């Protein structure tokens, strides 16, 4: 039993994929199974876990974002107290309740690893390492400037690094001008302005900013990711501000420069905590609608924007 949990989904995904490579035979669809979302059937998973593997050493079941480690995981915990020895479980969750029976069961009988947001120094080393593998160098100041635009989410950093590497194909050293040229700031400003427009109830302005991002060839799912990230950051900033932290301390805690943190503080004041939580939930629901095929990605963002405007 393995549990990979925490806010840093890039690391969760990386280690999930490493476990898959280690536990599963290539192309073995008969003994490798995937379940995702809060509507999965625990009895179905248990029945599958009790089935012996077909011409293989083990059966491997991957369960992702089930919510079972926060509520409703009692039956799974009871089963995992004495599971089939030939079945392996890999759980991947963004949030867990460490007091839950399921968490305690996996922790005691298997392995639980938390992937929290990484600090600035770790991210700077990671960025330098990726660029080095591509034969490129970057100064610490330029890397910090890059981080000020991407934030600390490793998924977002990795996407922006891919763009940066492509842009600097014929260069050995990445410079500040290169970072500015790949539109990190421009996209971030569009998202910031879009949320301002939503706060002011300006439907046309919010949609126009969305269409501008599409014109910049930003994929709808990346726009959704940036919206969700922005609302989540605003919620964190608002709560930290209410706790008496100044802009510098807030910036250190959420991975922003004091100047950028100040802009987030000002924007967060335009929302109630409940509104920001609702916005984060709506972003998650929009992503789920796309992943389950219920809605096309471009349309899902438009529907999300209209829903956010309605409050």
Share of the chain above pLDDT 70, in %: 96
Q: Where in the sequence of the chain do the CATH 3.40.50.300 domains occur?
A: 2-114
Please give the pLDDT value at position 216: 66
This prediction's pTM: 0.62
Bridge partners, 140 (sequence order): none
Give the tens place of pLDDT for each residue, 142-197: 998 888 777 777 887 898 899 899 999 889 999 988 887 775 556 667 888 888 88
Give the tens place of pLDDT for each residue, 273-294: 999 999 999 999 999 988 888 8
In CATH, the architecture of 184-310 is Up-down Bundle (1.20)
> How wide is the angle at C-alpha 226 spanned by C-alphas 220 and 232, nearest 5°?
140
Give the tens place of pLDDT for each residue, 193-228: 888 888 888 899 988 888 888 876 678 888 888 888
Reported for 106-109, long-range contacts at CB under 8 A and 24+ positions apart, including other chains, are: 106/1, 106/2, 106/3, 106/80, 107/3, 109/1, 109/80, 109/81
Tell me how far CA of residue 226 lies from CA of 15, 96, 230, in angstroms. 23, 24, 6
Q: Where in the sequence of the chain do the CATH 1.10.8.60 domains occur?
A: 120-181
Residue 105 pLDDT greater than 90, yes or no: yes
Task: Give the whole-angstrom CA distance, residue 24 versus residue 16.
Answer: 12
**Element holding 16 (H helix, E strand):** helix 9-23
201 CB neighbour count, 10 Å cutoff: 11
Band of pLDDT at residue 68, cut at 50, 70 and 90 = very high
Cβ atoms 109, 80 nearer than 8 A? yes
* CATH (one of 3.40.50.970, 3.40.50.2020, 1.10.3720.10, 1.10.8.60) for 120-181: 1.10.8.60
Q: Does domain 2-114 bear CATH number 3.60.21.10?
A: no
Cβ atoms 223, 213 nearer than 8 A? yes
Give the tens place of pLDDT for each residue, 4-49: 999 888 999 999 999 999 999 888 889 999 999 888 999 999 999 9
Which range has the worst mean pLDDT, 118-127, 207-216, 265-274?
Answer: 207-216
Q: Where in the sequence of the chain do the CATH 1.20.272.10 domains occur?
A: 184-310
Report the helix count and the strand count for the chain, using DSSP H and E.
15, 7
User: Which residue would you say has higher pLDDT here, 231 or 252?
Assistant: 231
14, two tokens: 């990386």
Please give the pLDDT value at position 252: 83
Task: Give the whole-angstrom CA distance, residue 202 versus residue 70.
Answer: 37
């Amino acid at each position: 039993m393995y549990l990979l949990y925490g806010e840093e989904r890039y690391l969760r995904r990386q280690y999930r994929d490493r476990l898959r490579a280690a536990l599963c035979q290539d192309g073995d669809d008969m003994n490798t199974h995937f379940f995702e979302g809060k509507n999965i059937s625990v009895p179905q998973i248990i029945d599958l876990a009790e089935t012996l593997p077909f011409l293989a050493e083990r059966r491997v079941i991957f369960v992702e974002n089930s919510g079972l480690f926060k509520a409703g995981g009692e039956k799974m915990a009871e089963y995992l107290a004495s599971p089939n020895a030939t079945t392996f479980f890999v759980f991947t969750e963004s949030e867990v309740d460490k007091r839950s029976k399921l968490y305690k069961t996996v922790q005691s009988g298997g392995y639980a690893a938390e992937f929290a947001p990484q600090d600035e120094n770790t991210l700077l080393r990671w960025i330098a390492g990726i660029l080095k593998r591509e034969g490129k160098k970057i100064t610490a100041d330029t890397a910090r400037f890059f981080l000020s635009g991407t934030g600390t989410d490793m998924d977002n950093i990795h996407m922006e690094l891919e763009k940066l590497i492509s842009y600097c194909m014929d260069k050995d050293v990445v410079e500040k001008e290169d970072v500015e040229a790949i539109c990190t700031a421009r996209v971030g400003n569009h998202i910031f302005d879009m949320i301002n427009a939503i706060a002011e109830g300006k439907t046309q302005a919010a949609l126009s900013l969305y269409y501008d991002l599409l014109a910049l060839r930003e994929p709808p799912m990346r726009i959704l990711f940036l919206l969700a990230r922005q609302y989540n950051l605003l919620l964190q900033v608002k709560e930290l501000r209410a706790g008496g932290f100044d802009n510098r301390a807030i910036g250190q805690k959420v991975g922003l420069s004091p100047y950028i943190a100040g802009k987030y503080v000002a924007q967060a004041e335009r929302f109630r905590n409940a509104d920001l939580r609702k916005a984060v939930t709506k972003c998650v629901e929009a992503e789920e609608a796309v992943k389950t095929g219920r809605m096309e990605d471009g349309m899902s963002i438009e529907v999300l924007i209209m829903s956010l405007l309605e409050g």
